[in-house]
Structure 1
Amino acid sequence: MQKRSLVALALLATLTACQKKAEGQTVAVVNNEEITASELNAELANANTPDTADKKAITNRVLQGLIERRILAEQARKDGIDKSPEFIARQRRMNEELLIGMLASRSMDTSKLPSDAEIAAFQAKQPQAFANREVWKLDQLQYDTPQDKAITARIAATKTLAELASVLSAARIPFQRASNQLVTSAIPAELYPQLARLQGGEPFIVPAGAKSVASSIVSREPAPLSGPQARTEAVNAIRRLNSTNALQQRLKELKASAKIEYKEGFAPPPGAAPAVPAKQ
């Protein structure tokens, strides 16, 4: 009888030890799964809340979101979704993208700071982001990208958004009008001179998958970037560029030494461009 009591007590102690509690670094327990303070802080950091916000209310809301996510994820696992081929493929892609992003961040963090001469040269090559930085107000038309080459040619020949709207209407392609603004620092250096020379009202078109967006510049407001802020922007941009180039060079070397076997018909043609070209 005494032996049975000891076994029962041992079993009770084991069960009690397995029951996690919301204490210490654990801010909540959902079906015996912990949510830690570090997890909550990471979620709060990604929330981008303003400094004037009610911190306690934001924390409570974010924590509830974490709890609800855990509950739904647990149900998805019970339904076997985590064993499906689609989930496994998407999870692998997300993990790979996270690893690559952290590899790039580590490369940037360990890169040396550029010299004053490198910073000055970079700013001179990127006038749209520094000395000549402007804010452009835009009128825009968004429409489904046509597949008919004749319609595409007529669109390319238009000189105003009004002409473009007429071409789209004649081709029975629906479109939406919008107003927007563009800071020229977002424009690639190689494209900026072409856009800067556009005459008033002349549209430029940017394909975006199945959609295209045509924009015309309504006004240009100077917003030059100089001094310490310009230096900080330049340093960060140079380090990102150097990190990208270093990562691409490393990828080239790793790919050259990797053992890659293709099923017949899946190998790239000789001389094919890399999947992610190195940035210059």
Structure 2
Amino acid sequence: MPDVLIASCAAAAGRDEDEPLLLAALAAEGLTMSCADWADGDVDWGAAAVVVVRSTWDYAPRRDEFLAWARRVEAVTRLLNPADVLAWNTDKRYLRELADTGVPVVPTAWAEQPGDVDAALDRWPGDVVVKPVVSAGARDTTRFAPAQRAEARAAARGILASGRAVMVQPYLDRLDAEGETGLVHLDGVLSHAFGKGALLAGEALGPGLYAEEEITRRTATPEQRALGDRVLAWVAERTGAAPLYARVDLVRGEDGAPQVIEVELTEPSLFLTTDDGAAARLAAAVRARLS
């Protein structure tokens, strides 16, 4: 009977750079562990003391199935992060809720029916990014120039036809030079930061499991740290407890101040390779949850 089962997916096998570091760190904590595909019906999830959701990167096209799995697991053992957190976080409309509290979030227009599309696209005169509220790995996410409004409209309506609402955001030119800054929190405390290069060069991202990213070590500024702490405090209040892991992705707005572009609590890469102590901190956080 393992202490820890890591929930992954078949398509992620050998592709999650966090996994071997986490497994080694869990072993160093004296914990037995194993990895399994969340969609494998033969896995006895209740045999583990805790199930940690990690590289379940294929959940988005079958979100309902994934959330039903999470609730079944939670009925027989401890699940981290919990099923209610996964349900809330896998629909990016949580950003609207976060913005309503006054937290700086990348400006976003929402289209929940075809009649909303034109107003959402017309909100910004420059390049815009069109994406669904349910997506992982930047799939179905496209940047459109002003001359491509017809294509943007078709993309938005295609997303709506798939049963998902649409987000439209202005493309921030700072991304081309600076990319994003990701803040990784473990048990509500900042662990490390990393830089992520800009993904969207104007073409739609392909149908693969995730988009390849250029990741670098980065030190968070005091302003970024303060915003990350503010977001994590809000998440803990909203969900009832600090999550085992959280990734707050930030970009600089037009005024240079950081803005939240995503808060990832479901299956984010934590880029443990960018900080020598990160895997050990995550393993210690898992052990603390078992105590």
TM superposition score category, shorter chain reference: under 0.3
More helix by share: 1
Whichever of the two has the greater Rg, that structure is 1
More strand by share: 2
Highest RCO, 1 vs 2 (Cα 8 Å, sep ≥ 6) = 2
TM-score by length of 2: 0.19
TM-score by length of 1: 0.19
